[in-house]
């Protein structure tokens, strides 16, 4: 199918699906519609082919299928896809979030910065205006207080005057733009450090929040919320897994539970659990950073107190670096507040995608379905298989990895997000894999299993089960992101996972005992005598060689010079050349002789003048 034609058709389908959903009172984003369109096309039950040209009837059928799935709010699959789209569009890791925050802050400060660096004051009043702008820049860049608060402005002004009095404005104005910007950043950090130190000493710090204390309370609160949601997810996942296993073992149970969308509900819970683990990991990282910064901040304040000790004057080389360190630590506290706010917002917004479980499976209904069913947790399943492992000798052409043979065993990128590679396609279950059984390496990818039997069955024909898992993902499009099948469905891989494709290149480090011995200076040193490091020397040699190409070399040998050494001479052949640049010549013309008579007048009142030309002709000269 032509790429341009395909793109135009897909855009038309997305637009019409969005309009149809809006007509029926359901607002959907283009990203969600695009994902749903591709998911419907991939589903083999819909008889679409990625390579075929869609007819008008196919397009209408595709639109209707997409609209039906997007309006089916009782399907956990739709809730999972919405959750995946939301997380992919909104989540950012620590580095990306802080980089974006820095860019936004610089954009807000840019007008004030341009007003300072671009000004050329000449009179005292203009100098004072620029100084006031510097105060505003220092206050806004620190984020400690409002520019409309008089007490805060007075405190910032006093701190700035202690390190940058107005008498230094003349020197500041003479600096280049780049140096001005650098000095303004340094002043902002110094003033911030001074205000923080005064706050710790109880002499200032107006409108400065206690960020370390706030973070110490807020981060544990956020982690508790995530832990509670994770416990809920684990409980639901274990219960849904137990029900699905009972359906496969008992035909009566299958008939009873087939109307419930248990598989879709299980995939939804597993995806929610995955996202919560990512957010929990970020929260734990933030807690560790805050703990380290608290220690560093207290140590820096104590060092400053010991350095100052009520002295009238202190060497700037001693205290200025400490003030800058305080400012940087406080900026880190502010960044952690931003990250915590972002994580809290993500956690709260993700909770809406779990509400469908209470609608489909009220507690009373779920408890009645679980009667007589044994519910096992993931930890219990792993403990049951801890004593079993694959016998490597049973597989001649397969490579298995174990903790004692792979140095980075815990860092290997396991396929299918660590779920059993056999249970996904065969049973449609997301059972946790146990790496202790053994990790199968097949075509540079790594697979784990929930039992030894599953490992043996999968290892007999891995490609068959890999294809089976891909077919299962086509039927349930939410599995593409949940199982991290970006290598099979690259055009559906979410942006958040595409940024981490470099992790796929991780290789296992095999541990083994080895030793080696080499001789010292086994080869003689090689010194290239013709090497020249000087570029001008190389040019001189090149010119010399170029000149020699245009010279003639002559050699002669006579009978008398036989058996004697050869002589050669090189000369520049003379040539006779003459030029003429000048020629003498002359010319002569007759001298004009013209006489006028009657100019003085006569007796008559009228003057009569007579002109006589006696000049000789040219040819007579």
Beta strands in 80-238, from DSSP E residues, in sequence order = none
Q: Is the pLDDT of residue 487 over 80?
A: no
Task: Give the C-alpha separation, 26 to 72, whole Å.
Answer: 10
Task: Look at residue 521 in the predicted model and tell me its pLDDT.
Answer: 66
Q: Is the pLDDT of residue 287 over 80?
A: yes
Task: Look at residue 281 in the predicted model and tell me its pLDDT.
Answer: 93
Higher pLDDT, 408 or 114: 114
The CB density around residue 436, as the number of other CB atoms within 10 Å, is: 16
Task: Give the C-alpha separation, 1 to 619, whole Å.
Answer: 99
Q: Is the pLDDT of residue 173 over 70?
A: yes
503 pLDDT band (50/70/90 cuts)? Answer: very low
Using alpha carbons, list the distances in angstroms from residue 310 to 155, 307, 313, 318.
Answer: 19, 9, 9, 15
Task: Give the C-alpha separation, 294 to 5, whole Å.
Answer: 59
Q: Is the pLDDT of residue 506 over 50?
A: no
Using alpha carbons, list the distances in angstroms from residue 593 to 19, 599, 620, 621.
Answer: 110, 17, 15, 14
Task: Look at residue 103 in the predicted model and tell me its pLDDT.
Answer: 92
Percent of the chain at pLDDT > 70 equals 89
Q: What is the mean pLDDT of residues 140-147?
A: 87
**For residue 238, what are the β-bridge partners?**
none
The pLDDT tens digits for 435-455 are 989 999 998 899 999 999 999
Three-class SS of residue 281?
A: helix
Q: What is the mean pLDDT of residues 235-248?
A: 90
The CB density around residue 344, as the number of other CB atoms within 10 Å, is: 18
Contacts of residue 473, Cβ cutoff 8 Å, sequence gap at least 6: 479, 480, 483, 485, 488, 489
Contacts of residue 275, Cβ cutoff 8 Å, sequence gap at least 6: 83, 87, 91, 350
Task: Look at residue 279 in the predicted model and tell me its pLDDT.
Answer: 93
Higher pLDDT, 601 or 512: 601
The position carrying tokens 């340094």 is 186
Contact 350, 275 (CB under 8 A): yes
Mean pLDDT over the full length of the chain: 84
Percent of the chain at pLDDT > 90 equals 34
Q: Is the pLDDT of residue 220 over 50?
A: yes
pTM of the model: 0.74
The highest-confidence range among 37-46, 144-153, 274-283, 360-369, by mean pLDDT, is: 274-283
Task: Give the C-alpha separation, 356 to 392, whole Å.
Answer: 45
Chain centroid, CA 279 distance in Å: 19
């Amino acid at each position: 199918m032509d790429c341009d034609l395909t793109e135009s058709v897909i855009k038309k389908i997305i637009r019409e699906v969005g309009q149809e959903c809006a007509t029926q009172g359901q607002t959907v984003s283009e990203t969600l519609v695009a994902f749903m369109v591709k998911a419907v096309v991939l589903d083999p039950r819909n008889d679409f082919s990625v390579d075929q040209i869609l007819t008008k009837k196919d397009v209408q059928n595709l639109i209707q299928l997409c609209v039906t799935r997007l309006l089916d709010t009782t399907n956990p699959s739709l809730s999972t896809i919405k959750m995946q789209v939301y997380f992919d569009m909104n989540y950012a890791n620590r580095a990306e979030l802080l980089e974006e925050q820095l860019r936004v802050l610089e954009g807000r400060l840019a007008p004030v910065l341009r007003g300072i660096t671009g000004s050329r004051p000449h009179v005292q009043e203009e100098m004072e205006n620029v100084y006031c702008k510097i105060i505003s820049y220092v206050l806004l860049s620190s984020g400690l207080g409002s520019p409309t608060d008089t007490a805060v402005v007075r405190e910032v002004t006093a701190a700035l005057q202690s390190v940058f009095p107005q008498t230094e404005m003349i020197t500041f104005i003479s600096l280049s733009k780049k140096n001005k910007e650098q000095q303004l950043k340094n002043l902002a950090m110094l003033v911030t450090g001074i205000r923080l130190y005064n706050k710790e000493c109880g002499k200032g710090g107006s409108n400065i929040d206690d960020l370390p204390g706030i973070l110490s309370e807020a981060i544990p609160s956020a982690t508790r919320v995530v832990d509670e949601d994770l416990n809920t997810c684990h409980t639901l996942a274990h219960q849904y897994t137990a029900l699905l296993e009972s359906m496969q073992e008992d035909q009566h149970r299958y008939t009873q539970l087939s109307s419930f969308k248990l598989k879709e509900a299980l995939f939804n819970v597993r995806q929610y659990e995955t996202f919560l683990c990512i957010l929990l990991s970020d929260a734990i990282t933030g807690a560790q950073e805050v703990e380290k910064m608290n220690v560093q901040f207290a140590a820096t304040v104590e060092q400053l107190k010991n350095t100052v000790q009520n002295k009238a004057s202190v060497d700037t080389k001693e205290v200025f670096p400490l003030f800058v360190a305080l400012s940087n630590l406080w900026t880190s506290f502010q960044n952690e507040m931003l990250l915590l706010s972002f994580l809290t917002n993500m956690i709260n917004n993700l909770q809406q995608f779990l509400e469908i479980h209470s609608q489909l499976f009220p507690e009373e209904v779920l408890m009645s379905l679980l009667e007589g069913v044994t519910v096992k947790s993931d930890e219990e399943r792993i403990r049951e298989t801890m004593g079993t492992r694959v016998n490597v000798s049973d597989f001649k052409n397969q490579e298995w990895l174990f903790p004692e043979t792979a140095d980075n065993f815990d860092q290997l990128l396991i396929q299918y997000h660590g779920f059993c590679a056999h249970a996904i396609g065969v049973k449609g279950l997301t059972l946790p894999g146990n790496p202790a059984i053994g990790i199968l390496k097949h075509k540079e990818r790594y697979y784990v299993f929930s039992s030894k039997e599953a490992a043996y069955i999968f290892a007999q024909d891995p490609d068959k089960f890999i294809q089976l898992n891909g077919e299962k993902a086509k039927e349930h499009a939410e599995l593409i992101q949940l199982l991290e099948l970006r290598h099979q469905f690259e055009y559906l891989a979410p942006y958040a996972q595409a940024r981490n494709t470099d992790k796929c290149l991780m290789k296992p480090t095999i541990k083994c005992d080895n030793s080696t011995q080499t001789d010292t200076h086994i080869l003689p040193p090689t010194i290239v005598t013709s090497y020249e490091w000087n570029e001008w020397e190389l040019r001189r040699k090149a010119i010399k060689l170029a000149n020699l190409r245009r010279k003639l070399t002559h050699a002669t040998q006579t009978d008398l010079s036989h058996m004697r050494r050869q002589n050669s001479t090189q000369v520049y052949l003379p040539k006779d050349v003459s030029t003429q640049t000048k020629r003498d010549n002359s010319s002569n013309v007759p001298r004009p002789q013209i006489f006028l008579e009657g100019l003085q007048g006569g007796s008559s009142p009228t003057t009569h003048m007579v002109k006589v030309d006696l000049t000789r002709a040219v040819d007579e000269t």
